[in-house]
Amino acid sequence: MNVSELNPASELIEPDYSEFIPAMDRRRMSKVIKMAIACSIDCLKQAGLDQPDGIIVGTSMGCCVHTKNFLDKIIGANDGPLSPTSFIVSTHNTIAGQISLLLKNHGYNITHTQNSLSFEQALMDGILCIQNGYSNVLIGGADEEEDTIYNMKARLNDETIHLTHGASFFILSGKAASPASVNLIDVGSFGLINNPSKIIMRFLDSNNLSSEEIDLVLYANTEHKKTDELKMIFGQKKIFDYQKISGTYYTNSAFAMNYGIDILRLRSHPVFGNSIGKVLVCNNLIPENLGLILIDNKNQLG
Amino acid sequence: MRFIDSNLISDMQDLKYELKKQIIQELNLQDIKPEDIIDDAPLFGDGLGLDSIDALELVVLMEKYHGVKILDETVGKKVLASINTMAEYIVEENSKKT
Amino acid sequence: MKIFVTGIGVVSAIGLNAEENLCSLRSGVTGIRRSSVYNLMLGEVKLCNEQLIQLLNLPNEDFSRTTLLSILAAKEAWGKNKIVDDIRTGIISSTSVGGLDRIEKYYFESQTNKSSESYKLMTHDNGRTTERVAAELGVSGYIGTISTACSSGANAIMQGARLIEANKLDRVIVGGCDPLAIFDIKGFSSLNIYDQEICKPFDESRKGLNLGEGAAFLVLENDQSISITDNTPLCLLSGWDNATDAFHQTASSANGKGARLAMINALAKANITSEKINYVNAHGTGTGNNDLSESIALKTVFGDNIPPFSSTKGFTGHTLAAAGAIEAVYCVQAIRSQTILPNLNFSTPMTETGMIPEKTFRPGTQIEYVLSNSFGFGGNCTCLIFGKAN
């Protein structure tokens, strides 16, 4: 499985949304909502489920295209009559809300918006749900691209980043559904930190693991110094910058987890090698925030 | 004996056609053409299947494109029932101004 | 496991701290006034940004109002707490505006003055404002933000409790904030959802809501944390639940299914029956739809024995993401002072239900459990139950 790296001309690979969403619903949906719904429906189908017990979304920018549209409508209306649709579907939780509406789902429904840690917090929330007795939880990370009302390059202090967008969704369950199921071992969300290496070592330690036992580290950061630290901890061959294939958006660690799961299912990779059993997603996209996701393919069914 | 003004009829036809185009545009009804919308068919519920958010958008449309205000929910329910009722209301309100 | 509430802080149209808010609730004086700028009834916090910056002793930077109001309320709740290694501490806030108040200011400027690039400087997002509050209190580690429209504040409180219960944290500051932003003022205007006068929750003649702004935070602790901090519990957070109406993006279903599920499950979580609830702080926005839907849900859950209930939005306006948190603080105060809080501007019950909310500030009531509802766009319904600490 070889995924080619992005180039400046790369575009989002999208399904035909009309296969997932009726036209009368689709007309009000911005890209992030459509992406999330398509992923969710696909996810449920793969898991053989009609309904999840809960729906949890991590999104940093939410429905920012609609937000911008409504700002434009305010300017254009000039105190005259104002069209409400963009406002109505601009809240961050419209994504999770529209999924529940389409599925007619009455379960737990939460949206986390902690910039680069949004997806990790959604995952942690999902784990709490499973521990509290839910059977299946739909969890995703999604963000759409909107460069006029929010300057991500300035926020990350890096003009070279390639802004993109995407959505990745998962079904988290208390039991392995099949031999293809991958284990979510642990998730951590650490804000306002200054020593990511120390936190990574402590995280591994709390899971009784040494750095040598990690077969692959999928990382994101915008500072070269941090990459050097990762190389020192894990070795040059084991680390891969997932932004080369996902581009940059705040919830791209969800993409990384998806990629990690694909690799764990195959257990090997043409570049990263054979016997891949443990993957760590190391999201240091914002320097003072660190998200860690640990997954492995130790087969629960034996 | 009433004389029917053929100009008025064609003005009315034009107005209804304009309304249909505006509705398709403002409500983002991507797969629908003006010819698909029947003049006396219900816009809400079973007919075109519009909902309460669309109702608000139609109120904005009426003011923005035709200068008529709908200030009351009860009035709104009657006026926005079909293309016919919308067109009749526009003509009625605008004739009050002249 | 018990979850203790040991600190509260609130800023709203009726006061800059918990004591002032309670005084206003006692005196029945609303904080909603007609805004000269918008010709609308709004519940504004009576300090501008510059005054907040001075009051908080912050540097003269271009802060989002979300940050300023949040810091004010969070600091009050945090009080004399300190960060120590033995207490795993986190913060979960909530907001729908976040840094949008700055973004919209600069975006509007840039559109009218094409040469202005000032909006390009704006980098605030929801999580950023929470980080700023965390930095002010010295909190690092779990810093989270939830955004579920008008149920956000309640969901942040619920999330904090769940993390303590799962032994991920020992102590957490939870709450939410939304300032008044042009985006929301114009947005709700486009929905035709305002009452042009002060709102009348649960009244037959209610016409809609008034927008408000504010922030509120609570400090939640487990036994282990309290054994170190020695903080006095104000009350317990006994139950919670979140459910979805799945009816419409903005409207609530006629039978209030999401609301009913949230209340029933919260009661189950608290391990009590509905008869144990002594007071309900309703979502009660004053809109035709919400108040009817919520009333039906209350009837379904409580049957003929609906406890004394009120909406306090006649005092504060609807503070969107902050509402669940502000009203949680009021619930804590209700239990502490053994008082039923009043519902302003009520005179005629709804024809459909005949339900009559509490009209007066009623101290000297036996209150063991209080239930608080918050419902948001997307059909998001959250219910919190607070219990008396012994």
In this structure, what CATH number is given to the domain that contains residue B76? 1.10.1200.10
Q: Which residues of B touch C290 (CB under 8 A)?
A: none
Q: Chain B: residue nearest A85 by CA?
A: B53
With contacts defined as CB-CB under 8 Å, which chain A residues touch C145?
Answer: 112-114
Same domain flag for A144 and A192: no
Q: Give the model's confidence band at B1: pLDDT under 50 very low, under 70 low, under 90 confident, else very high.
A: very low
**Contact assignment for B52 to C251 by CB distance below 8 Å:** yes
Does the pLDDT of residue C297 top 60, yes or no?
yes
Residue in C146, C152, C163, C182 to test binding to A, most A beta-carbons within 10 Å:
C146
φ, ψ of residue C37 to 5 degrees: the values are -70, -40
Chain A contact set for B57 (CB, 8 A): 83-85
Q: What is the pLDDT of residue C307?
A: 98
Model pLDDT, residue A300: 45
Contacts with C128 from chain A: Cβ below 8 Å:
115
- Residue C121, pLDDT > 80, answer no
3-state secondary structure of C17: coil
What residues make up the domain containing B76?
Answer: 6-97
pLDDT band, very low/low/confident/very high, at B72 (cuts 50, 70, 90): confident
C-beta of residue C341 within 8 angstroms of C-beta of residue C310: yes
Domain assignment present for residue A189? The answer is yes
Contacting B with CB below 8 Å, chain C residues are 190-192, 248-251
Q: Which residue stretches of chain A have pLDDT < 50?
A: 300-302
**Number of separate domains in chain B:** 1
Q: Are residues A241 and A124 in the same domain?
A: no
- Residues from chain A contacting residue B36 (CB–CB below 8 Å): none
Name beta bridge partners: C373: C383
> Which chain B residue shows the shortest CA-CA distance from C288?
B73
The answer to whether the Cβ–Cβ distance between C243 and A107 falls below 8 Å is yes
pLDDT tens per residue across span A268-291: 888 888 899 999 999 999 999 999
> In the structure, what pLDDT confidence band is assigned to residue B4 with cuts at 50, 70 and 90?
low
Residues of B in contact with C190 (CB under 8 A): 56, 60
Strands C89-94 and C171-178: parallel
Please report the pLDDT score of residue A301 as a whole number. 42
Q: Into which CATH architecture does domain C236-387 fall?
A: 3-Layer(aba) Sandwich (3.40)
Do B79 and B89 form a contact (C-beta atoms < 8 A)? yes
CA A259, CA A236: separation in Å to the nearest integer?
19
CATH of domain C4-229: 3.40.47.10
Helix (H, G, I), strand (E, B) or coil at A267: coil
Q: What is the pLDDT of residues C192-244, one digit of tens each?
A: 999 999 999 999 999 999 999 999 999 999 999 999 999 999 999 999 999 99
ipTM, two decimals: 0.97
Band of pLDDT at residue C122, cut at 50, 70 and 90: low
The domains of chain C are located at: 4-229, 236-387
CA–CA separation, A190 and C141 (whole Å): 4
Please give the torsion angle defined by the CA atoms of residues A247, A248, A249 and A252, in that order, rounded to the nearest 10 degrees. 60
- On whether both A48 and A161 belong to a single domain, the answer is yes
Report yes or no on A218 lying in a domain: yes
CA dihedral sign, ordered C308, C312, C313, C319: negative
Q: In whole angstroms, give the CA distance from residue C324 to residue A149.
A: 28
Query: Do A21 and A43 lie in a common domain?
Result: yes
In this structure, are residues A286 and A116 in contact, taking their beta carbons and an 8 Å threshold?
yes
Query: How much is the CA Rg of chain A, to the nearest whole Å?
Result: 19
Q: pLDDT, tens digit, for every residue of A232-274?
A: 999 988 999 999 999 999 999 999 999 999 999 998 888 888 8
Confidence at residue C246, expressed as pLDDT on a 0 to 100 scale? 86
Rg of chain C over Cα atoms, rounded to whole angstroms, equals: 20
Give the pLDDT score at A302.
38
Please state, in angstroms and as integers, the Cα–Cα distance from residue A226 to each residue in A197, A198, A271, A282, C327, following that order: 8, 12, 22, 11, 44
In this structure, the answer to whether residues A79 and A222 fall within a common structural domain is no
Mutation for A interface: C93, C126, C157, C177, most A CBs within 10 A: C126
Q: Please answer yes or no on whether C248 and B52 come within 8 Å at the CB atom.
A: yes
Asked whether the predicted pLDDT for residue C115 surpasses 70, the reply is no
> CB contact, 8 Å: A251 with chain C?
no
Residue-level pLDDT at C123: 64
- CATH number (domain holding residue A52): 3.40.47.10
Residue A67 belongs to domain spanning: 17-173
CA distance A11 to A164: 8
Determine the residue of chain C that is closest to B54 in CA distance.
C191
CB C241 within 8 A of CB C266: yes
**Shortest CA distance from A25: residue in chain B:** B29
pTM of the prediction? Answer: 0.96
8 Å CB contact of C147 and A113: yes
pLDDT digit string (tens) for C152-183?
999 999 999 999 999 999 999 999 999 999 99
In terms of CA atoms, which chain B residue is nearest residue A87?
A: B53
> How confident is the model at residue C118, as a pLDDT?
62
Residues of B with CB under 8 A from a CB of C: 51-53, 56, 59-60
Neighbour subunits, C (≥3 Cβ pairs < 8 A): A, B
Instruction: Summarize pLDDT for C242-286 with one digit per residue, the tens.
Output: 999 888 888 888 888 999 999 999 999 999 999 999 999 999 999
Q: Do domains C4-229 and C236-387 have the same CATH topology?
A: yes
Instruction: Establish if B1 belongs to a structural domain.
Output: no
Q: Which residues contact C214 (CB under 8 A, 6 or more apart)?
A: C10, C11, C12, C13, C43, C45, C69, C73, C177, C178, C316, C319, C322, C326
Task: Kindly determine whether residue B63 and residue A81, on different chains, have CB atoms separated by under 8 Å.
Answer: yes
- Mutation target to probe the C interface, by most C beta carbons within 10 A, among A149, A195, A249, A286 is A149
